[in-house]
Structure 1
């Protein structure tokens, strides 16, 4: 009898083992990852005004970009498909692959309710203003580390987005990165991306302003805190290393969009410098862009980040 394929690929399992995740937990976790969306996930996606996608460029590098629209721009006609009736921001400018069969990772997030769902799949069809995704994996995430913000009602995609190639030394780049309490990260597994237990992932990271730091050598670092123990992002970094970051400034609508190479530091002495961290992730930027009006102006909130 053929053994069922695990929902976790080799990179994810390697990080799980290094983090001493129990076999019992992993067996339980397998049941959380579905090959089709339950009705509550379909309803959730259809209620959203904002979706984050991990897409690859022509060289295989992952980028993380949002898709924005009024409620109803996301439609799930069947449990294994999701339609996006807007173009992802900067997808044409960055040359992102939206051809049939291309892998995509998605994070649906409602900042007001702090709810988020993950979805990985493959593109079935894409044309100007629309894209249909076939679901490989979907699962919910807890609200940890999400700061409550309220998106203006009826928000549509930005009418015009300009991008400018940046450098880590640019004042605008440093200002946005060093003030960030939220960013989004895309990652990819190594080798052929055939869906299922391998592919592209999009995820959220949150903390206090400054948790995403710029080092003296121009690299970026951020702490990795306890989460669902799936290690989708870290497993992809273990497997391939290429990552893309989308760092928003919610007060201005600007964003820093970059792609580079990530690595995981397990050094306990270094980890001590970040309270509550279990690992440190370092990112060497390869290409950096400063985008204007990449998001609606959402503004700030006085509510603390929930843990």
Structure 2
């Protein structure tokens, strides 16, 4: 069963860490159908994280926002998203192109619930749809609890681009307690006959400072013990391209990084991911949602692997 759910990259990491049995069990939760409870959850969400590759092959993670109901299940294996990404977002063109492989994650800070849906894009008259290939929920580990406050006024957006972090952006990364990571397994034959490849979007959480900035072009973070699937690290074993999204929850600003990452395995089961920045987009878009200060996850008191 594991061969159909995990590609060789995830299997290799699971074997190295010694969690194949656990991964086999957890992998049974991955399906292609959207259950009623998942459909109801999606309909309540004010935002959706989407990961994909742009036209140049760079992988990014982006954030779509809207009134609850802008994301909804329209069938047993299809979701529709009204609207699109703000002007200037690096994935705007990719999400307007039929057949783009995407990974999505709907995360609700109000309830510490999340679900992931990966598939391919269909362009629609109101936005786009995703035909699901993999659907599953995750445990609430390392999710911070927040409450929505308001939406910023409409108006012109601001987009800044660079190829390394500025000092202010470095401070924002060090202060982050949450970020999202998009990865892909489409290189090196990982997207094989077992159908376990494609793009994935995942969440990482920790206390402020858990992401370290080594230089304006490099940062690292610890890989905490999770669900034993190792989808993100498995993808990185197959294809080092990755995209990071750092939301500033209180202002609504977004910091997007695209680059390459690798996993470093240390003694005692410790793992760290090292990310090298290749492109940076910082934006402040109208209509962005602002959230309260966090109530940190109780799991963050025991984050050893």
Give the TM-score of the pair, scaled to structure 1.
0.88
Question: 8 Å contact 1:51–1:67 — kept in the other structure?
Answer: yes
Q: 1:69 aligns with which of 66, 70, 85?
A: 66
Change over 3 Å in CA distance of 1:15–1:296 after alignment to 2:
same
Change over 3 Å in CA distance of 1:59–1:93 after alignment to 2:
closer
Aligned-partner Cα distance in 2 for 1:278–1:88: 37
Aligned-partner Cα distance in 2 for 1:143–1:289: 29
Pairwise mapping of residues 136-285 of structure 1 onto structure 2 (< 5 A)?
Answer: 136-152=133-149, 160-166=156-162, 168-191=164-187, 196-216=195-215, 218-268=217-267, 278-285=270-277
Alignment-derived partner of residue 50 in structure 2: 53
Question: 8 Å contact 2:164–2:278 — kept in the other structure?
Answer: no
Number of residue equivalences: 294
Greater mean deviation of Cα atoms: 87-96 or 209-218: 87-96
The alpha carbon displacement at 1:298 in A equals 1.3
Question: 8 Å contact 1:65–1:246 — kept in the other structure?
Answer: yes
Pairwise mapping of residues 89-104 of structure 1 onto structure 2 (< 5 A)?
Answer: 89=86, 93-94=90-91, 96-98=93-95, 99-104=97-102
Give the TM-score of the pair, scaled to structure 2.
0.88
Aligned-partner Cα distance in 2 for 1:223–1:148: 21
RMSD value, Cα: 2.4
Long gaps (5+) in structure 1: 272-276
Indicate the SS of the match to 2:217.
coil
Greater mean deviation of Cα atoms: 159-168 or 249-258: 159-168
Aligned-partner Cα distance in 2 for 1:173–1:73: 30
The alpha carbon displacement at 1:267 in A equals 2.1
Greater mean deviation of Cα atoms: 288-297 or 200-209: 288-297
Greater mean deviation of Cα atoms: 195-204 or 258-267: 195-204
Change over 3 Å in CA distance of 1:218–1:93 after alignment to 2:
closer
Report the structure, 1 or 2, having the larger strand content: 2
The alpha carbon displacement at 1:136 in A equals 0.1
Change over 3 Å in CA distance of 1:266–1:83 after alignment to 2:
same
Aligned-partner Cα distance in 1 for 2:271–2:157: 35
The alpha carbon displacement at 1:224 in A equals 0.4
Question: 8 Å contact 2:85–2:92 — kept in the other structure?
Answer: no
Question: 8 Å contact 2:54–2:94 — kept in the other structure?
Answer: yes
The alpha carbon displacement at 1:165 in A equals 1.3
Long gaps (5+) in structure 2: 300-305
Indicate the SS of the match to 1:143.
coil
Greater mean deviation of Cα atoms: 176-185 or 208-217: 208-217
Aligned-partner Cα distance in 1 for 2:184–2:119: 12
The alpha carbon displacement at 1:58 in A equals 0.7
